[in-house]
Structure 1
Amino acid sequence: MCGRFAQSQTREEYLAYLAEEAERDIAYDPEPIGRYNVAPGTKVLLLSERDKQLHLDPVLWGYTPGWWGKPPLINARVETAATSRMFKPLWLHGRAIVFADGWFEWKTEGGKKQPYFIHRTNGQPLFMAAIGSTLFERGDEAEGFLIVTTAADKGLVDINDRRPLVLSPAAAREWIRQDVGGKEAERIVEDGAVSGEHFTWHAVSRAVGNVKNQGSELIEPINY
């Protein structure tokens, strides 16, 4: 699954992989986002396409349709999202991308939960598939977004049996195109997902368990 991640670089560093400036309706901002411990229930910068332009909006991580009556959902399984009653409309019309440097998972070791930071071996950012409300620009508190997850493969299954669906830059750009239909989006996922062999991980401080902690030291490797 994905319940915590880092989104620390500048907007430009992420966007440079995806689109030329002419394709964006996004104000230039040289300041790093600087979030090393992004948690559900907070607003996260989310990339989507509207009117053939890319937009970056702060959107609540968590999806709660009006009829749900339960705690917000934060993940959607790729295996069922395209066809389920709840998620199919989001898959069709609310596809988006979440930038990340990596994500955190916890593994029980010696009776304690040890957090790990998982990231791309080549150091490139992650473009995680997301689905949610189509009204991203409103910042609607009632309906936010979910990160799409897939089954873990390669060594990643040793950490958790689920992981975020990470797309290549080219696939990420196609994923959010408004003229792409549901079936085509499924094909993009099949062809453009980044496989587990492209990731590595290391143990990090248990301080990441406290959402108030946000410093860069949270993603640094530790010896234990």
Structure 2
Amino acid sequence: MCGRYATTRSEADLEDLFEAVSIAERAAPSWNVAPTDPVPVIRMSASRDARVLDAARWGLVPPWAKDLRAGARMINARSETVATSRAFAPSFARRRCLVPADGWFEWVREGKQRRPFYMTPADGSPLAFAGLWTTWGPDAVLTCTVLTTAAVGPLARIHDRMPLILPGDRWPDWLAGGGAPETLLTPLTPAELAAIEARPVRPDVGNVRNNGPHLLEPPPVAADPEPSTLF
């Protein structure tokens, strides 16, 4: 799954990167995005002729939900079932988005401890997660989810799931709506994912109240006395 990630680029940077026009106040940059936080998303405008940079609550809330709390359980949608899921299929067909990210976090249990790792491109380039959006309630609250797929290569040693990452040449088809699921949901190959590295980071990231670039620093030496055997 993807339960925590970082997205820190400015509104101007996101507009340039995705060729989008901002229509909402930029969600604050975060080095520790948690479920129900506001996050930036790229989606098509109602007229379907332009990309817009919007802000959504992370955790898709289906229209039948009694309140927004339902979204906390729907931060991820499995790519294998998203096209047929009652909760996600309508958005997969008509309301797809891109979720900008710098990287994501997973935890590995080692004895009685859980070590956090940060998966991110080694060269600092941005990522775009495949996402879905919808609106909920009389105030049309915008909510979103991140699609996940099976992890491959060295990343599978960290966790068996990972976000579905879309390279730039696949953004137009993803945002357009329609299309064949088997093509839209094709994961990247191990070779394409080779640029992503897994870095051990400070355990402070485990607390959702902590935020800031210091969370991406290596853990204190005392907390990591021996080299990792994961890679």
User: Which bin holds the TM-score, normalised by the shorter protein?
Assistant: 0.7 to 0.9
Distance in 2 (alpha carbons) for counterparts of 1:68 and 1:182 = 28
Deviation at 1:192? 6.5
Output one character per residue of 1:29-74: Cα deviation in whole Å (capped at 9) or x when no partner: 9x99531111111111111011211111211111232434655311
User: CA 1:33/1:63 → structure 2, altered by over 3 Å: closer, same or farther?
Assistant: closer
Distance in 1 (alpha carbons) for counterparts of 2:139 and 2:32 = 21
Contact 2:27/2:55 (8 A) holds in 1: no
Matches within 5 A, 1:9-88: 9-19=9-19, 24-26=20-22, 33-50=28-45, 51=47, 52-68=49-65, 72-88=73-89
Of 188, 191, 202 in structure 1, the residue corresponding to residue 199 of structure 2 is: 202
Gap runs ≥5 in structure 2: 225-231
Contact 2:173/2:179 (8 A) holds in 1: no
Deviation at 1:186? 3.9
Aligned to 1:89: 90
Distance in 1 (alpha carbons) for counterparts of 2:35 and 2:218 = 24
Deviation at 1:220? 1.8
Of 205, 211, 215 in structure 1, the residue corresponding to residue 212 of structure 2 is: 215
Q: Tell me the matched-pair count.
A: 213
Deviation at 1:10? 1.5
Deviation at 1:187? 1.3
Deviation at 1:28? 11
Pairwise CA RMSD of aligned residues?
2.7
Of 173, 178, 183 in structure 2, the residue corresponding to residue 181 of structure 1 is: 178
User: CA 1:64/1:182 → structure 2, altered by over 3 Å: closer, same or farther?
Assistant: same
Contact 1:37/1:214 (8 A) holds in 2: yes
User: CA 1:192/1:153 → structure 2, altered by over 3 Å: closer, same or farther?
Assistant: closer
Matches within 5 A, 1:114-193: 114-133=115-134, 135=135, 140-141=140-141, 144-177=143-176, 180-183=177-180, 186-190=182-186
| TM-score computed with the length of structure 2 as normaliser | 0.81
User: CA 1:207/1:6 → structure 2, altered by over 3 Å: closer, same or farther?
Assistant: same
Tell me the percent identity. Answer: 32
Contact 1:57/1:139 (8 A) holds in 2: no
Amino acid aligned to 2:171: A
Gap runs ≥5 in structure 1: none
Output one character per residue of 1:135-162: Cα deviation in whole Å (capped at 9) or x when no partner: 49x9734x61110000000001110000
Deviation at 1:189? 3.2
